[in-house]
Each structure stands twice: as C-alpha cells, then as structure tokens.
Amino acid sequence: MSTIVLKFGGTSVATTDLIKSAASIVKKEYDAGNNLAVVVSAMAGTTNTLINLVKEINSSVDSEYDVVVSSGEQVTAGLMSMALNQLGIPSRSWLGWQLPIITSGPHRNSLIEKINVEKILKDFEGKKVAVLAGFQGLSVEGKITTIGRGGSDNTAVFLASALNADRCDIYTDVDGVYTSDPKITSKVKKLNKVSYEEMIEMASQGAKVLQTASVESAMSKNVNVQVRSTFKPNEEGTEISIDGEGEILRAVTGVAYSKDEAKITIIDLVDEPGIAAKIFNKLSDYSINVDMIVQNNFIERKMTNLTFTIPMGDLEKSLSILDKLKDQIEFSRIISEDKLSKVSIIGSGMRNQPGIAAKMFQCLSEQNINIEVISTSEIKVSVLIDKARTEDAVSSLHDTFKLDNI
C-alpha cells in the first residue's frame, strides 16, 4: 500500500466530463489499495474569468483578490468529491482553511508554511480519498490566501512531503517532459527520467510543464514527482527525482527556449562599488525580472558596459526607470534591443563532458545565427539570439545533440 498525491491541472478538469475522467484515474489507484490525496486546480478558464471581474472593479485589494480567486479551486474540489462518490469512492473536499494549510507572506503570493495532515490521515484510516482545493491557504490572521509561485503544483508537492507520500503524480495536458518543444521539431522524444536540477533549468528556460518553484520545492523535500497525461493515463510519464539518467547517458537532456526577450546595454557606466546593486535593486522594486547579466570592464578607464536581459513587455518601463536614475549613476548612453529569444541546452551530464558549450556555438555559427549574450550554469548554456531564428536554433541544436535518439 502506497500513499500517493494526485494533482489535476486546469485543463484536466476543464469540464464535468473531464472531472469524471480524472475521477476514474483516481479510482484505479484507489482500487489498487493506495491511500490517496487529490489536489485540484480551478477548471480551465475560471481563474481568468475571476481575475477579469477583479480588474473590472478597478481596485484590487490583495486580501479580497484571494477571496475571489480561490473560489475556483473550491468549486472543483466539491465537484471532484461528488464525481468520486458517483464511482462509489468515499471522499470529502478540504479547503485551505479547513485543514488548515498555513501560509506566510503577502496575499496573492503567499508561501505554504505547513499543511496539517491529521484530518487527511483520518480520511485514510476510513478509506476515504481527501480532495484538496489547490492554490489556497490560510494566513495567521485567519484570511484566505493564494499561493503565488507554482500554485496547485506546489500544494501537491508540499502535501506529498507532509504525508511522506511515495509519489506525487502531476496530471496535466501533456504526457511528460520532452527533449524540446514538439511545435518546433517533430523529432522530440519524451524523457523517462529527469533530475530535479535538469527540470528546474528546463522550467526556468521556458519549458511549460512545471513551474520552477514547484520543482525546487520537490527537490528540497525530495518528493518523487511523476508528470503524466490525464488523457493517456495508461502511459508512463516522466519521473522527476534526484537522479536523472543524464549523469551517465546524456550530456544534453533538452533544448528549451523563451521568446520575447529584450536586452538593455548601459554604455560607459562609471564603475563604482555598488553601482550594479543600485540598478538591479531599482528594477526589482518595480517587479522587473532581470535574467542574463553580462559586464565588460575597461579597467584602465574605470568604466564598464553593462548588459542585461528582461522580458520584452517590461522594456519601456525599464528604460524609464533607468532614465530616472540619471542623477544617481553616470553613463554615456543606453541602447536597447527587443525581438530576441533565449535558447538553452540543459543536461546534468554536461558536468562530466567538456566541450558541450563549444559544440553549441559551433552549431549556431554553422546556421549563421548570431549570439548576442551567453550565460552558463553548471548544467545549462543559454544564448540570446534573434527571435526570428528561434526555430532554426532549437531544431539544429536538437539534431546536433542527437536528442531524437535519446
């Protein structure tokens, strides 16, 4: 007998028929004698509808935003419990405040501190399936909160850890993690196993299966995560755990990309201690997410060119923030460029195989693709290129590293 957390995302519970299908997946695991906790997202589209209502009111109060938006998961939890009942499986729904799921931090972007699992364990004793509304919790002030980063996935991973579960199955609309985006190259292959680290890099480099925060949480708690398809429940998905297969078998596990990047370069910035902190703190105050950073020092001139990338949508805002900093920092001018993409190769095996980055640059050069910025980590190499060449870059890298043959 295992304890399993099953999480169903919005597209997996988008209609009542899909909720019934998801319930039959739960039934299979239940009939096998497992203790089950099910975490559900809001039905696809519901959260956006609720957010639009808030926007129309034109005055968002964060704590009330959470009251409104958390209702979506509440509805799915009730419906899922009824659907299980229809299949003869005893169950009940649990909202964040009922367990409770204690959170900290600001509304709309709270962090789970603790999930009280006593009531769920009691459900298990009574052979009941516990159905949890994902994405929500309770503040110490007794108010409803919602979890920003990772949402319901994070609820599931945290719950799996709190229950010391054998597995955390994330059911979604794709059947696993792929070597790259099937929309770009038909040669993609599903990965049977990836390591947490690989998955974190993939997620942060643009793969949309799981959010970085959820994988980080799984890694820190050592939760065995399975990404599986609601629509092909009999197929194996991708296992995300401490050991991928990359260390031995693969230098490169996947090619990820994110479009709509922009680049800002501050030319002839007078290089004083703390100058970078000043700039990036200011951008961070305005919630602008700076990604790649490159600095070229001209030591003899005590000046530097500072280049960094941001989401394209934040370009104008960033430029106006920098403009306001003119009095505090000294530079000659600012140049910016948009319509860029970031393309990354990721793989734990990189650690043991030298020359991977060189092979990447060689491949792009053969394709006549110009590299604007490079950034690397232990298990990842990212390059910034012309957005129009994204597809060429991804598919030629996929070929170069023979990911169709993984």
Q: How far is the CB of 317 from a copy of itself (least distance, A)?
A: 24
Instruction: From 269, 304, 291, select the one nearest 343 (Cα to Cα).
Output: 291
Phi and psi angles of residue 329, each rounded to the nearest 5 degrees, phi first: -130, 155
In terms of CB distance, is 86 or 353 closer to a copy of itself? 86
Cis peptide before 100 (omega within 30 of 0): yes
**Do the beta carbons of residue 291 and residue 284 sit within 8 Å?**
no
Q: Check binding of 20 to a copy of itself (CB under 8 A).
A: yes
Q: Which of 1, 59, 300, 368 binds a copy of itself (CB under 8 A)?
A: 59
- With both helix axes pointing from N to C terminus, report the angle between 275-285 and 315-324 in degrees, rounded to the nearest 10: 130
Task: Closer to a copy of itself by CB, 138 or 384: give it.
Answer: 138
Q: Does 79 bind a copy of itself (CB under 8 A)?
A: yes
The distance of closest approach from Cβ of residue 23 to a copy of itself in the complex, given in angstroms and rounded to an integer, is 9
Q: Is 265 in the site for a copy of itself (CB under 8 A)?
A: no
Residue 134 CA to residue 9 CA, distance in Å, equals 9
Alpha-carbon distance of 123 to 114, in angstroms, equals: 19
Among 24, 27, 51, 78, binds a copy of itself (CB under 8 A): 78
The region of 31-39, 83-91, 276-284, 398-406 touching a copy of itself under the rule CB under 8 A is: 83-91
Contacts (CB under 8 A) with a copy of itself, residues 95-154: 95, 97-98, 142, 144
Cβ atoms of residues 258 and 342 within 8 Å: yes
Three-class secondary structure of residue 309 per DSSP: strand
Distance CA 97, CA 144 (A): 7
Residues 168 and 224 sit within 8 Å (Cβ to Cβ): yes
60 vs 229, which CB is nearer to a copy of itself?
Answer: 60
Residue list 144-183, contact with a copy of itself (CB under 8 A)? 144
Which of 5, 26, 39, 68 contacts a copy of itself by CB under 8 A? Answer: 68
Indicate whether 53 belongs to the interface with a copy of itself (CB under 8 A).
Answer: yes
DSSP strands (E only) in 225-325: 225-229, 238-241, 254-270, 293-298, 303-311
* Footprint of a copy of itself (CB under 8 A): 16-17, 19-20, 50, 53-54, 56-61, 63-68, 71-72, 74-75, 77-79, 81-83, 85-86, 92-93, 95, 97-98, 142, 144
